[in-house]
Structure 1
Amino acid sequence: MKYITLIESFYPSLTKSEKKVADYIIDQKDQVLYQSLSDMANHIQVGEATIVRFCYKLGFEGVQDLKFSISREDDLFKNQTYDNYIDTIESNIQKVVHETKLVLDPQSLTQVIDCLHQCEQVYLFGSGASGLATLEAESRLLRIGKITKSVIDSHYQLMHAALCTAKTCVIAISLSGSTIETVEAAQIAKENGAKVIVLTNYIQSPFAKIADLILLTAGKENPLDGGSLVAKISQLYVIDLICTGYALKQKKKAQNAKELTARATLGRVVSPIKRNKKDDI
């Protein structure tokens, strides 16, 4: 493979720390695809700057460029055929839900539910595919009586963050935990006194470092799988847990909200077309 040949070509000229990076990438290439820069640094026991410098030395534009090269050459569809892809996707969905359950901290989940119960204002921040997850969370919470606002535009995230108070709860969603605009908005919200809750894959991510509460997801993505359904299912599973826990905490209010919202939308369906007797002639 080209990237391995490239690493081997540069290997003699690498520093001791850079050789550790090279060895790790060759031995753990499948893991590297799904690790953040900070996770890689922790596993290899080198500084993040060393990994970035290693990538530049090999001619890559950065860590993401290296990952893209690895994922492009290690085609993840090489063992997938038209005959087995249905079973493969089913297996991946079941696996990601199970793995998310394993990494989820029940105590943190309870604290998140308590936070939603106590706060007066809830904003949901997310960009790209994670923005879709915030829209789903807004819909679910609204139906059980908790009015929230999903904000997926980066400028609006900053403006909403600037108006946060100690009575605000911000739920920020990002698989990587490194989306610059959303991290910045969450930081501003925290500085203004808001409680920041983060849903992310990476405990060492910039998002996680500013969070008051963290709920880990397990939806892995490589650079070629951006926005994959399996990754979103991990987020939606955690959102479902939050909403269900919130509803169970105040059953009467949630049930009343469900009935009111259901009744409000009950008639919003297309009526069956009435047949004209002449049509039967």
Structure 2
Amino acid sequence: MDIYMVIQQLYPSFSKKEQLVANYILQEGQSINNMNISVLANHVGVSNGTITHFCKKIGCNNFAELKVQLGRLRTATAPSVEDNILIQVSKFYQTVIERSNQLLDITYLHQLAETIKGAARIFIYGIGSSGLSAKEMMLRLLRMGFNVQSITDSHLMLINSSIVNENDFVIAISSSGETSVIVDATRIAKNNRCKVICLTSFSESTLAQQVDSFILVPNTLFVDKERFVNSQFS
């Protein structure tokens, strides 16, 4: 797993100032190769000590080692000012695909497929942007002949979670893993002995820690926060 993925996984444990450092590195990582620690601190708006502490938190002895780790990665795919919009979009999705490939375990995906095939009913929970992913997944599974329903309304989600049983299967989608209604609904479903998995970007999130298992996906806000916001893709 490269340094970008390490930073994403540890992100919830960072202080607010450390998250500023993480955001900058995840989005502009290759640009720091020609910076010293003071220049980066000035760019981000933190102290040199914060950056040093951040480096140690992600397994690097110092800022120089972080730069070496970043230098080992292929040239960043972040859009440059010379790129036209089509190239920018292509680079964005290429980065998301590459980071997804690092996180996904094909063996587990096969196991997940078997669980889906064996479930009497499948319910997919998602709110907001994650709700769009839930609806798309429902449509794909419906076409395959499964008994599946996406639930994107918070009240209906809580009602549904109270009536599922051990023969059902819940797939919860939350990039942050902290969406309160998703967390509450999956906890209720688990209490009813329903099998529950989630798709999230953070393994240490409340949601990931309370379900049977989780699938990690890249957080696309870390790829480009300003131009492209499309968590459905990952």
Is this a same-fold pair by TM over 0.5? Answer: yes
Q: Tell whether the 8 Å contact from 1:126 to 1:174 is kept in structure 2 after alignment.
A: yes
CA distance in 2, matches of 1:206, 1:44: 25
Structure 1 letter corresponding to 2:120: E
- Structure 2 residue aligned with 1:163: 163
Secondary structure at 2:232's aligned position in 1? Answer: helix
Q: Is 1:30 the counterpart of 2:31 in the alignment?
A: no
Structure 2 letter corresponding to 1:130: S
- Which residues of 2 match residues 85-164 of structure 1 at below 5 A? 85-164=85-164
- Structure 2 residue aligned with 1:188: 188
Secondary structure at 2:116's aligned position in 1? Answer: helix
CA distance in 1, matches of 2:160, 2:178: 19
- Structure 2 residue aligned with 1:204: 204
Report the CA distance between 1:23 and its aligned residue.
6.7
Q: Which runs of 5+ in 1 are unaligned?
A: 1-19, 34-41, 46-78, 235-281
Structure 1 letter corresponding to 2:229: S
CA distance in 1, matches of 2:201, 2:24: 16
Q: Tell whether the 8 Å contact from 1:24 to 1:44 is kept in structure 2 after alignment.
A: no
CA distance in 2, matches of 1:226, 1:135: 24
- Structure 1 residue aligned with 2:229: 228
Q: Tell whether the 8 Å contact from 2:164 to 2:192 is kept in structure 1 after alignment.
A: yes
Report the CA distance between 1:44 and its aligned residue.
7.6
Q: Tell whether the 8 Å contact from 1:108 to 1:213 is kept in structure 2 after alignment.
A: no
How much is the aligned-residue C-alpha RMSD, in angstroms? 3.0
CA distance in 1, matches of 2:228, 2:135: 15
Structure 1 letter corresponding to 2:98: H
Q: Tell whether the 8 Å contact from 1:21 to 1:44 is kept in structure 2 after alignment.
A: no
| 1:220-252 Cα distance to aligned partner (Å, 9 max, x none) | 2269669822x2111xxxxxxxxxxxxxxxxxx
CA distance in 2, matches of 1:120, 1:26: 45
- Structure 2 residue aligned with 1:277: none
CA distance in 1, matches of 2:87, 2:175: 25
Report the CA distance between 1:188 and its aligned residue.
0.5
Q: Tell whether the 8 Å contact from 2:120 to 2:147 is kept in structure 1 after alignment.
A: no
Q: How many residues align?
A: 174
Task: Give the structure with higher Rg (CA).
Answer: 1
Q: Which runs of 5+ in 2 are unaligned?
A: 1-13, 28-53, 58-78
| 1:46-67 Cα distance to aligned partner (Å, 9 max, x none) | xxxxxxxxxxxxxxxxxxxxxx
Report the CA distance between 1:183 and its aligned residue.
1.1
Q: Tell whether the 8 Å contact from 1:219 to 1:233 is kept in structure 2 after alignment.
A: no
More helix by share: 1
Q: TM-score scaled to structure 2, two decimals?
A: 0.66
Q: TM-score scaled to structure 1, two decimals?
A: 0.55
Specify whether residues 92 and 179 from structure 1 end up closer, same or farther in structure 2 by C-alpha distance, changes over 3 A only: same
